[in-house]
Amino acid sequence: MKARLYGKLGDALFTALLVALALGVLGVAGLLAWELWVGGAPAFRAFGFWGFTLSSEWNAVSERFGAWPFLIGTVVTSAAALILAFFPSLAAAIVVAEYAPRRLGEVVAYLIDLLAALPSVVYGLWGIFVLVPLVRDHVEQPLFLWSAEHAPALMGLLGPPTGIGMFSAVLVLALMILPYASSLARDAIRLVPREQREAMYALGATRWEVVRRVVLPYARGGIFAGVVLALARAIGETMAVTMLIGNSGQLPYSVFGPAATMASVIANEFTEAEGELHLASLLAVGFLLLLLSLAVNLIADFILRRMSVGEGRK
Amino acid sequence: MEALRMETENLTVYYGKHAGVRGVSLPVYDRTITALIGPSGCGKTTFLRALNRMHDLNPVVRVEGRVRLDDEDIYAPGVDPVVIRRKVGMVFQRPTPFPTMSIFENVVAGLRLVGVRDRDRLREVAERSLRQAALWDEVKDRLNEPAVGLSGGQQQRISIARALAVEPEVLLMDEPTSALDPISTQAIEDLLVDLKEQVTIVIVTHNMQQAARVSDRTAFFLDGEMIEFGPTEQLFTNPTDPRTEAYITGRFG
């Protein structure tokens, strides 16, 4: 009787503790959003919410601020990085989970996961000292010179071939988000039931046909979840992008040219934001970044519910 | 006398170092049903999976001996297991509809593999196979709905229709009714008897009554060996080996 009472009490305590912790997390997130909103409010008041969001002027001297170039910078770099990273990450997942011998597969999987463990600043350094000179000398300059000779109209689109700019930032970003997409895709592929594969093999399918017609469709929910996680990482990635993108407050008008993302402009300017409106504008950019991430996650969740197969289906 | 369709000769299957099936020689006659019975772990499923080279998918499994399909050794060098599996189809213990495909796409999945695109032909084969699997009347109005929405018994008949759609010579069935209710089981047993007009069937079953009801010949497996093989009626009424008798009278297993 006593033990039973104790058990019930413990249950109630444990439940209360869990609820408190869960609410605490929610509270912190809410507080964060609130602080960003309050901090950014002067900017929204000065230019209007849409005026601030859609204006492409960012000038600390004349104190005119608009987030549009950074919003576009974030969307373009993230989307481009995702497009670049998607197929390699999926291919790596398929090779590791389906084709490679077990041991080799595990080593490769480990190495891919290790990419996610590298600090962002290390990617940035590697980008500056290795990738940027490489890209400048072997991709951007040859392309630029070629277009100067054969298609001058292209030069504006290509932009200054300095190595620092959107092109390099996207390359590094793609490499950084690849492990996220790949590791979720790999797990999803491994979770495809053996019966499903065997049923297709028994119809006279080759290994590739089994992958294409059974494994990938079955795993599509997990693959998509990996894409979302990778995209979320790309949207929020700060350090490496700041080091490589060239930080220009202009709308990104060219492939090689400098640009900035929402995260990079905050990192780059908050120490030197003298005017109150400048600081408020940076906080307002932070608030917009939060909204963007939230929107991406909500949309992704909605799609994911429709795509999931098997256990995740509800 | 019926013609021989498949035959194993001294078939041994190793899982690593352990031989799960040892020295089994079994003839499979054309358009008959051969039942494999025996207690759990006796090697009957392992034996069955050797008949269409499903063991190739598992690197720790090694197959020795010979399996002939129409006088061709299916384990001979240069024989493509993919081609063998097209001729020797398989239905598994649990229904395995492909969850992202409609009923129709499930049934024609094997035809898609060989590149059949013609809509009319796919439709024709789907209808024929679903009729063979005694499922047509139940699903003809919802061919484009997901196959996972069907009941367990219907899903298993989808799996059978899918296997039949590629017109295999032999159909291997691994306890096809063990996950089903009695009514679905009955439906599938009736179906098997009709099917043997067109296809040779080898069925593993846990259920001795099932073997007695549907099969023409029965093989009794124990500890990886085939103890006895003969016409079903004879094996069940007048077994020659005392171990067979012990098993069918329910003294073990």
Question: Could A213 and B83 be called an inter-chain contact, meaning their C-beta atoms sit closer than 8 Å?
Answer: no
Query: CA-based angle A230:A234:A236, to the nearest 5?
Result: 120
Q: What CATH number does the domain containing A231 carry?
A: 1.10.3720.10
Q: How confident is residue B124, by pLDDT bands cut at 50, 70 and 90?
A: very high
Residue A219: closest C-alpha in chain B: B100
Residue A210 CA to residue A97 CA, distance in Å, equals: 13
Residue B59: closest C-alpha in chain A: A101
Residue B2: what pLDDT? 79
Chain B residues touching residue A199 (CB < 8 angstroms): 92, 96, 98, 159, 162
Residue A223: how many CB atoms within 10 A of its CB? 24
Q: How confident is residue B187, by pLDDT bands cut at 50, 70 and 90?
A: confident
Closest among B175, B219, B248, B172 to B36, alpha carbons compared? B219
Residue A5: what pLDDT? 64
Beta strand extents in A50-201 (DSSP E only)? none
Residue B214: what pLDDT? 94
Per-residue pLDDT of B42-68, as tens digits, reads: 999 999 999 999 999 888 999 999 999
Residue A193: closest C-alpha in chain B: B96
Does residue B79 register a pLDDT over 60? yes
Closest among B87, B86, B56, B55 to B71, alpha carbons compared? B87
Per-residue pLDDT of B162-175, as tens digits, reads: 999 999 999 999 99
Number of domains in chain A: 1
Q: What is the mean pLDDT of residues B183-197?
A: 90
Q: Which long-range contacts (CB under 8 A, 24 or more apart) does B243-248 make?
A: B244/B220, B247/B37, B247/B38, B247/B39, B247/B220, B247/B222, B248/B208, B248/B220
Å between B99 CA and nearest CA of chain A: 7
From the list A205, A218, A310, the residue facing B113 with the nearest CB is: A205
pLDDT along chain A (314 residues), means of 10: 69 92 95 95 95 93 93 96 97 93 92 93 96 95 91 88 93 96 95 94 94 95 94 94 92 89 94 90 96 93 84 40
Determine the residue among A195, A197, A203, A206 to mutate to test chain B binding: the one whose Cβ has the most chain B Cβ atoms within 10 Å.
A203
Å between A274 CA and nearest CA of chain B: 57
Chain B residues touching residue A218 (CB < 8 angstroms): 98-100
Q: What is the mean pLDDT of residues B217-241?
A: 95
Residue A196: closest C-alpha in chain B: B96
Residue A312: what pLDDT? 40
Does residue B12 register a pLDDT over 60? yes
Residue A9: what pLDDT? 84
Number of separate helices (H) and strands (E) present in chain A: 15, 0
Does residue B239 register a pLDDT over 70? yes
Residue A306: what pLDDT? 86
Å between A195 CA and nearest CA of chain B: 7
Provide the residue range defining the domain that includes A25.
2-312
CA atoms within 13 A on the CB side of B139: 31
CB B248, CB B236: distance < 8 Å: yes
Does residue B83 register a pLDDT over 80? yes
Question: Could B54 and A201 be called an inter-chain contact, meaning their C-beta atoms sit closer than 8 Å?
Answer: yes
Instruction: Domains for chain B: give ranges and CATH numbers.
Output: 4-96+168-248 (3.40.50.300)
Residue A311: what pLDDT? 45
Residue A7: what pLDDT? 72
Chain A residues touching residue B98 (CB < 8 angstroms): 196, 199-200, 213-214, 217-218
Residue A273: what pLDDT? 86
